[in-house]
Chains A and B, each alone.
Chain A
Amino acid sequence: MSTHSAAVDHVDGATTKAFVTVWFALLFMTGVEVVLAYMQPPVLVFLTALVGLSVIKAALIIAYFMHLRFEKLSLFLTLFPMLILCIILMLLIFMPDSNRLMMMRPR
């Protein structure tokens, strides 16, 4: 198989229809976020919804637009578990302390 046809086969799993569908899904989730901001729900609900939607949007961008879904699993396993671990470590260091400072606020 030539290099060119291999490249074509490589992206054939990702079709124009899939890209447009993902784009619509991303726009829809952005719309939901803006509507939530307008409705002003309780902070904890709002923050959870925003972070949840953002993670889903990021996953869609990485999987389809950045083609990671069509790459070899070893690439994903090399890059992402350690990235997620580092972010969790940062969360473990920063969040309890910021929470402590919040609790120390004068009421």
Chain B
Amino acid sequence: MSESNSAATMSSVWSGGRSPYAVNSKKFGMWLFIVSDALTFSAMLMAYTYVRLSTPNWPTPFHFFPSIIFSTVMTFCLLSSSLTMVMGVHAMNHGRRKAAVGWILGTMAGGAAFVVLHLTEWLNLIRNEHVTPFSNEWGVPLFGGTFFALTGLHMTHVVIGLIYLGIIAFAVGRGKFKAEDVEVSGLYWHFVDLVWMFIFPLVYLMSAKI
């Protein structure tokens, strides 16, 4: 192969020899997990949409206040935590460990606020609207089943993310872990945020009661 041909191959999309994606294995592994988890959430959202379309009297228990307002504030918390996370990754990439820890703690605060608000919203739904995973006043148990499964799986991801970020913040504060480790945890957190961008409109806003 001539020198010019070799240069052309190296600059092509699929070049790269032993590292064709130019990312480390941890980051690539997290991307693969994210793709598989995205399919899980896609399937659950489709199952939710399927039962919703095929059920004539689908409940709309989400009053504008408190449910929609609460879920909007929850969305604000998650979006803001994504901003603080990306700032943390940015700080770590520039070698500012203390700043990175501060940003990660800010991210955890946003995530914790989301969980507290979400649990409050769940309690409101259970106590005031009498919706449980198995029954409700409208006689459509699939509503509670799909709603709690979908939002519960998402909240589980948020809680796992909080634990993950706590470990990362602790280690980074002690001078351990590299920038790539913070970036990989950031990928997970942004994915959790991304999933909520579909759950919020399709589950809450589509069932709003004005």
Chain A residues within CB distance 8 Å of chain B: 4, 7-8, 10-11, 14, 16, 19-20, 23, 26-27, 30, 33-34, 36-38, 40, 46-47, 50-51, 53-54, 57-58, 61-62, 64-67, 71-75, 77-79, 82-83, 86-87, 90-91, 94-95, 97-99, 101-102, 105-106
Contacts and interface: CB of A to CB of B under 8 A. Distances in A.
B190 A61 contact: yes
B50 A50 contact: no
Contacts of A57: 194, 197
B21 A37 contact: no
Interface string B1-36: 000000000000110100011110000100110010
Contacts of B193: 61, 65
B205 interface: yes
Interface of B: 13-14, 16, 20-23, 28, 31-32, 35, 38-39, 42-43, 46-47, 49-50, 53-54, 56, 64, 68, 72, 75-76, 79-80, 82-83, 85-87, 89-90, 93-95, 179-180, 183, 186-187, 190-191, 193-194, 197-198, 200-202, 205-206, 208, 210
A75 B53 contact: no
B14 A74 contact: yes
Contact of B83 (A19, A51, A87, A106): A19
13 contacts: A8-B93, A16-B87, A16-B90, A58-B194, A65-B190, A66-B194, A71-B22, A86-B42, A87-B39, A90-B42, A97-B50, A101-B53, A105-B56
Contacts of A38: 64, 208, 210
A90 to B, nearest CB: 5
Nearest to A86: B39
Q: Tell me if B's interface is mostly helix, strand, loop or mixed.
A: helix
A47 B45 CA distance: 14
B76 to A, nearest CB: 7
B205 A66 contact: no
5 A-B pairs with least C-beta separation: A101-B54, A50-B201, A98-B53, A37-B205, A75-B21
Contact of A94 (B20, B46, B76, B194): B46
B54 A98 contact: yes
Contact of B90 (A4, A11, A30, A73): A11
Contact of B198 (A36, A46, A54): A54
Nearest to A34: B72
A50 B197 contact: no
A33 B197 CA distance: 11
Nearest to B56: A105
Contacts of A83: 35, 38-39
A14 B90 contact: yes
**Residue of A16, A33, A65, A98 contacting most chain B CB atoms (<10 Å):** A65
